Amino acid sequence: MILESPAAPSASPAPIEPPHDCPLCPRLAEFREEQRVAHPDWWNAPVPAFGDPDAWLAIVGLAPGMQGANRTGRPFTGDFAGILLYETMIRFGFAEGSYEARPDDGLILRDAIIINAVRCLPPQNKPLPAEIHTCRRFLTPALEALPKLRVVIALGQIAHQSAVKALGGKLPKARFGHLAEHRLPSGIVLIDSYHCSRYNQNTRVLTAEMFEAVFARARAIGEAAGQTVSR
Ligand code: SF4
């Protein structure tokens, strides 16, 4: 009798969401534990991606804000930056419903998803290069898991750098600039935007019109590639 050897187990796909107690960045894990003690009713954990699994547009942010995603558990929800981001997404047909700064407001993203380059709250909103590098093990597969992905908007220089690397591009060829476009090896187009932070808005580094121009360009690229946009 000939016995067939068992099939080799197939490699598991890389996880796109970190575990609730991800230990890979010791400084951030320690800061997370401090927040859990100080604010036991907050999320205080890696913040998962939020949006449409069939998205053709991905928005890559920097990291959770203290009073925003780290408190509520949904990217950009509850902080100043989220107001402009979600209102713009609603205006351009990438979100339905009303944004009420809480994760149970019923807001639904259409054709779009938001993913932070660093999933845990960094002290002073400043992740270290090693932490950005480490958390890319979640950003890369999260982007690869989007079969219809055509356009990525990077919010700020750090998100830009991590997105370029996650999408297989080379940084010297892809320099950050507001409204700069970079076609990456897979054909995905990366559009840069200044981050919609309170500081950038208050200092007029980023105006609502400048931010809308980024989403208008993303929508135009998507439509030219045959993607639907709700309105
Ligand atoms: S930032 Fe990312 S890699 Fe680092 S501890 Fe948090 S989830 Fe893990």
Q: What is the mean pLDDT of the chain?
A: 94
Give residue-wise pLDDT tens across range 43-91. Answer: 999 999 999 999 999 999 999 999 999 999 999 999 999 999 999 999 9
pLDDT in tens, 80-125: 999 999 999 999 999 999 999 999 999 999 999 999 999 999 999 9
- Determine the distance separating the centroid of ligand 1 and the alpha carbon of 135, expressed in angstroms: 5
Per-residue pLDDT at 228 exceeds 80: no
Q: Provide the pLDDT confidence category of residue 5 given band limits of 50, 70 and 90.
A: very low
Largest CA distance in the chain: 78
Is pLDDT above 70 for 231? no
Q: How far apart are CA 41 and CA 175, in angstroms?
A: 40
Cα(63) to ligand 1 centroid in Å equals: 10
**What is the band of 11 on the pLDDT scale with cuts at 50, 70, 90?**
low
**According to the model, what pLDDT value does residue 172 have?**
85
Report the nearest-CA residue for atom 3 of ligand 1. 135
Domain boundaries, the chain: 26-224
Distance 6 CA to ligand 1 centre (A): 36
- Residue 185 has a CB neighbour count (10 Å cut-off) of 9
> For atom 2 of ligand 1, which residue has the closest CA?
135
- Give the confidence band of 213 by pLDDT, cuts at 50, 70, 90: very high
Q: pTM for this structure?
A: 0.93
> Which of 6 and 24 is assigned the larger pLDDT?
24
CATH of domain 26-224: 3.40.470.10
> What value does the mean pLDDT take over residues 214-222?
97
Higher per-residue confidence, 221 vs 231: 221
Q: Give distance in angstroms: CA of 216 to centre of ligand 1.
A: 32
Residues lining ligand 1, Cβ inside 6 A: 18, 22, 24-25, 28-29, 46, 118-120, 131, 134-135, 138
Contacts of 26 (CB under 8 A, 6+ apart): none
Calculate how far, in angstroms, residue 27's C-alpha sits from the geometric centre of ligand 1.
Answer: 10
Within the chain, residue ranges assigned H as helices are 26-38, 69-72, 80-91, 129-144, 157-166, 198-202, 208-224
pLDDT in tens, 174-211: 999 999 999 999 999 999 999 999 999 999 999 999 99
116-144 burial, b for 16+ CB within 10 Å, e for fewer? bbbbbbbeeeebeeebbebbbebbbebbb
Ligand 1 atom nearest the C-alpha of 63 is: 1
Residue 173: band (very low, low, confident or very high) from pLDDT cuts 50, 70, 90 = confident
For residue 170, pLDDT over 70 is answered with yes
Least Cα distance to 138 among 69, 56, 49 occurs for 49
